[in-house]
Amino acid sequence: MSIPFNLPPKIGGEEQLIYKVISQNKKLSGDGVFTKKCNEWIEHNLDTPKALLTTSCTHALEMAAILIDIKPGDEVIAPSYTFVSTVNAFVLRGAKIVFIDIRPDTMNIDENLIEKAITEKTKVIVPVHYAGVSCEMDKILEIAKKYNLFVVEDAAQGVMANYKGQALGTMGDLGCFSFHDTKNYSMGEGGALLIKNKSFLERAEIIREKGTNRSKFFRGQVDKYTWVDIGSSYLPSELNAAYLYAQLLVADKININRLRTWNKYYEGLLSLKEEGKIELPYIPSGCTHNGHMFYIKCKDMSVRTSLMDFLKQNNINTAFHYVPLHSSIAGLNYSRFHGEDIYTTRESERILRLPMYYNIKDEYVVEVIEKIKLFFAK
Ligand SMILES: *Cc1c(COP(=O)(O)O)cnc(C)c1O
């Protein structure tokens, strides 16, 4: 028996809704009943003017880059400690990525370094809410306003988390969610684009429908549909949307369950933190997270490697996370690092993520805590 690092969320109602798509609705392609239900669920529960389900968060980010009209040479400010798609979406449109350092406490973009990285080419700031813990959005939005920049939130990990009462993904001009298997709510592969800036509403529908005004046609607003802009196919199948909708209906239940696991880890490992053996995640005041991830930080990479090996020998699967993008092969071509890399590389080398998924067994969590304690007792 081994303890998995991740399992896709499954709550029990998914099969019924998928069955309904096949046997009753008889429409498997995009923008059917369940896609609309998911869009509306996000709009109502997270309080955003418009949400559009997409085939992935990667694709939601690509839509965002098209919407804000990224042109070759435009600059994008982002953290280097993130997933490839956060910046690749903009590189596809010809942007140059300007990476800045993260804060060691939250692993999020350091809001105090943004202003110095702005040039006349800067077009957008892309905060990534790591582990579902919000970036300092007040400061980021204030800078964006001062310099007339867009803000695209990568809230892939932030569904159901808040910053001062506002849902992550709903504060920037655009926000991007992921419903990948590794995220809190899943449809296998999927995501959503959240649109706060209403000037993007019409064009977003067009870009998502292969550059056509098909959505308007279906609503009877135009009498034929045609190619009007660039675009692609960013519509997920109804089968996937049905799976997701079953989970959104019990979103609180999933959130509470994950937070419970997160708190169990925190309390169980607190003594090791107090002994100075490890560091634990920090949640700034004003931030309500969603238990997306539980990580610890070891003294350095060599301790992390031995701990990871030790846990593996004890059938516990853990994972480190991003290799900083500025030092990756593509990063060397498409980006530069502004300022000094004080924390990005150092912190990324000592982070270890523990098994975390919906409904993980209590005894697994206890086992992981015990084995980590045993490792540090040696
Ligand atoms: C998972 C993730 C993505 C990509 O999500 P997909 O839905 O798999 O495309 C992007 N950014 C971050 C920060 C992520 O964690």
Query: Is 14-248 CATH 3.40.640.10?
Result: yes
- CA nearest neighbour of 352 among 296, 309, 272, 270: 296
pTM (2 d.p.):
0.97
Mean per-residue pLDDT over the chain, rounded: 97
- Rounded-to-10 torsion of CA 56, 145, 289, 343: 90
Residue of 52, 55, 85 to test ligand 1 pocket, by largest number of atoms within 8 Å of CB: 85
- CA nearest neighbour of 152 among 99, 105, 86: 86
How far is ligand 1, taken at its centre, from the CA of residue 274, in Å?
A: 33
Over residues 319-368, the pLDDT tens digits come to 999 999 999 999 999 999 999 999 999 999 999 999 999 999 999 999 99
| Mean pLDDT along residues 141-158 | 98
Ligand 1 atom nearest residue 128's Cα: 13
How far is ligand 1, taken at its centre, from the CA of residue 154, in Å?
A: 8
| Mean pLDDT along residues 228-234 | 96
Better-scored residue on pLDDT, 213 or 378? 213
Query: Confidence band (pLDDT; 50, 70, 90) for 267?
Result: very high
Q: Looking at residue 280, what is its pLDDT?
A: 98
Query: Confidence band (pLDDT; 50, 70, 90) for 210?
Result: very high
Ligand 1 atom nearest residue 130's Cα: 13
Residues of the chain with CATH 3.40.640.10: 14-248
Tokens for 319, please give them: 């994972």
How far is ligand 1, taken at its centre, from the CA of residue 179, in Å?
A: 8
How far is ligand 1, taken at its centre, from the CA of residue 5, in Å?
A: 17
Which CATH class name applies to 251-377? alpha beta
Over residues 272-323, the pLDDT tens digits come to 999 999 999 999 999 999 999 999 999 999 999 999 999 999 999 999 999 9
Q: What residue has token string 């920090």? A: 282
What string of DSSP letters covers 152-166?
EEE-TT-TT-EETTE
- The ligand 1 site (C-beta within 6 Å) comprises 56-58, 82-83, 85-86, 128, 154, 156-157, 178, 180, 191
Q: Looking at residue 1, what is its pLDDT?
A: 84
Residue 26 predicted with pLDDT over 90: no
Over residues 112-142, the pLDDT tens digits come to 999 999 999 999 999 999 999 999 999 999 9
Protein residue closest via CA to atom 5 of ligand 1: 57
Specify whether the CB–CB gap between 327 and 97 falls below 8 A: no
Beta strands (DSSP E) in the chain are 50-54, 75-79, 96-100, 122-125, 150-154, 162-163, 166-167, 174-178, 191-195, 287-288, 295-297, 335-337, 351-353
| Mean pLDDT along residues 79-106 | 98
| Mean pLDDT along residues 202-219 | 93
Residues of the chain with CATH 3.90.1150.10: 251-377
Q: Looking at residue 337, what is its pLDDT?
A: 98
> Are β-strands 351-353 and 295-297 bridged in parallel, bridged antiparallel, or unpaired?
antiparallel
Query: Confidence band (pLDDT; 50, 70, 90) for 378?
Result: confident
Ligand 1 atom nearest residue 183's Cα: 1
Residue of 53, 57, 108 to test ligand 1 pocket, by largest number of atoms within 8 Å of CB: 57
Residue 41 predicted with pLDDT over 90: yes
Distance in angstroms (rounded) separating the CA atoms of residues 79 and 153: 12
175: phi then psi, degrees, rounded to nearest 5: -135, 150
SS3 145: helix
DSSP state of 23: I
